[in-house]
């Protein structure tokens, strides 16, 4: 029997439409091989939504996302919208989508593919075999805490304020996602905070430690964020699953990402308690190469694999996509961002065609 899934596509800005087109073709090919039917519906987000609907996250977009089984997002943003007031910036649409769907957990794998070891800026022996999953809290912490704003002091000077705050329940729910993720991996979890200085981090550490009683199979450790940043570039193989708050996770997941050498290869998943998850590449809209058929579509394609695995419970389809990516790399195809001596340079479309050939 054919299983069907309703997928909202949010191509967004810059290279978004190019990498999304490749990914939709890949999903169709996998669907026809495994008897999965995808009903795709496109919606607006980011800069293009500002231009066409006057808001970076039109209400129809959020409503449509809520009614789907999963949301596949490309990227938003560009120079054109950088000077608009905050509520009209493309990024505000992204934060609104995460909040609107209750996506509190962001999963970002940083896996070194054997074919791309030399793309890393670190030595081969340091990065070979690195396989890290960063679990970042996404809807709390300093990006959302109140009070926030730029206020005038009594002296008439401006003062910018943000507040880092977490409740016990917010820590517990991300903590559980992290422990369960570690259970599916090698069983090691490192919680990252700044408990030596911040009260909010002390509560974080206390709750994560308390939760560990429910997961006796997981080996839990704690690191301060400054040390974690150092350890990530010193000896990344010591990490398996990392859990941390919104701000620290934003920074550490980018650092972990760069161990792999190319931002064009990295997918991510954002999950809530129930309802659809959002699956998107880690990179942005790359306005510098948009419309030139230069973008690497593989992070978007691998995001679709994460969608199949974590959002739609279709591990076989996810494996098929991941295997096809490894296969095109084995065949020597490289977009500009991962190009190396002796490899075959291709553009976004040709990389898509190579994937389809492998899947056929």
Please name the residue ranges forming H helices in 146-266: 168-184, 199-211, 225-234, 246-259
The partner residues of 37 in beta bridges, in order of sequence, read 4
Query: Which residue in the list 131, 172, 254, 293 is annotated as catalytic?
Result: 254
CB 70 to ligand NAD: min, Å: 17
Marked catalytic residue, from 194, 215, 240, 333 = 194
Answer yes or no: 226 catalytic: yes
Q: At what angle do helices 348-359 and 16-34 cross, to 10 degrees?
A: 10
Structure tokens at 172: 């517990």
Residues that bind ligand NAD (CB under 6 A): 15, 75-78, 91, 94, 263-264, 280, 283-289, 295-296, 299, 335, 337
172 is annotated as an active-site residue: no
Q: How far is the CB of 216 from ligand NAD (least distance, A)?
A: 37
Give the full edge-to-edge strand order of the sheet including 267-271. 36-42, 3-12, 70-75, 278-281, 267-271, 105-111, 131-137, 241-244, 188-193, 219-224
What letter does residue 308 receive in the DSSP assignment?
I
List the catalytic residue out of 51, 118, 206, 226. 226
Q: How far apart are CA 220 and CA 181, in angstroms?
A: 13
Return the number of the residue (249 or 284) whose C-beta is nearest ligand NAD. Answer: 284
Look up residue 329 and give its two tokens: 């790399």
Closer residue to ligand NAD in complex, CB, 275/287: 287
Minimum CB–partner distance for residue 229 and ligand NAD (Å): 19
In the annotation, is 310 catalytic? no
Whether 226 and 249 have beta carbons less than 8 Å apart is answered as: no
Q: What is the closest distance, in whole angstroms, from the C-beta atom of residue 199 to ligand NAD in the complex?
A: 30
Comparison of 83 and 153: residue with beta carbon closer to ligand NAD: 83
Nearer to ligand NAD, 53 or 339 (CB): 339
Neighbours of 79 (CB within 10 A): 10
Q: Is 194 a catalytic residue?
A: yes
Active-site residue, from 69, 172, 250, 293: 250
Q: For residues 277 and 311, is the Cβ–Cβ distance under 8 A?
A: yes
Q: How far is the CB of 296 from ligand NAD (least distance, A)?
A: 3
Catalytic residue among 143, 166, 215, 310: 143
Q: How far apart are the first and last CA of the chain?
A: 21
Q: Which is nearer to ligand NAD, 181 or 335 (CB)?
A: 335
Residue 191 Cα distances to 24, 39, 107, 136, angstroms: 36, 39, 14, 10
Residue numbers annotated as active site: 143, 194, 226, 250, 254
């Amino acid at each position: 029997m054919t299983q069907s899934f309703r997928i909202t596509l949010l191509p967004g800005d810059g290279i978004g439409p190019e990498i999304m087109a490749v990914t939709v073709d890949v999903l169709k090919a996998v669907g026809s091989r495994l008897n999965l039917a995808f009903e795709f519906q496109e919606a607006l987000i980011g800069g293009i939504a500002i231009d066409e609907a006057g808001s970076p996250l039109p209400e129809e977009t959020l409503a449509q996302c809520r009614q789907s089984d999963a949301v596949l997002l490309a990227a938003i943003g560009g120079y054109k919208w950088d000077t608009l007031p905050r509520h009209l910036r493309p990024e505000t649409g992204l934060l609104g989508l995460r909040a609107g769907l209750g996506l509190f957990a962001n999963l970002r794998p940083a896996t070194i593919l054997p074919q791309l070891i030399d793309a890393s800026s670190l030595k081969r022996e340091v990065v070979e075999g690195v396989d890290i999953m960063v679990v970042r809290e996404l809807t709390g912490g300093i990006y959302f805490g109140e009070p926030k704003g730029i206020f005038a002091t009594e002296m008439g000077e401006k003062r910018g304020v943000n507040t880092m705050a977490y409740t016990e329940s917010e820590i517990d729910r991300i903590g559980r996602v992290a422990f369960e993720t570690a259970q599916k991996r090698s069983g090691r979890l490192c919680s990252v905070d700044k408990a030596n200085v911040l009260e909010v981090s002390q509560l974080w550490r206390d709750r994560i430690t308390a939760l560990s009683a429910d997961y006796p199979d997981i080996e839990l450790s704690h690191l301060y964020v400054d040390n974690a940043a150092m350890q990530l570039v010193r000896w990344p193989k010591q990490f398996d699953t990392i859990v941390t708050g919104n701000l620290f996770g934003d920074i550490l997941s980018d650092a972990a990402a760069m161990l792999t050498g190319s931002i064009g290869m990295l997918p991510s998943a954002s999950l809530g308690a129930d309802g659809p998850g959002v699956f998107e590449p880690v990179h942005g809209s790359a306005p510098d190469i948009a419309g030139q058929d230069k973008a690497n579509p593989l992070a978007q394609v691998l995001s679709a694999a994460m969608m199949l695995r974590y959002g739609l419970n279709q591990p076989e389809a996810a494996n098929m996509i991941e295997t096809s990516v490894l296969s095109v790399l084995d065949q020597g195809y490289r977009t500009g961002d991962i190009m190396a001596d002796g490899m075959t340079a291709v553009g976004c479309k040709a990389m898509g065609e190579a994937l389809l050939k492998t899947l056929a």
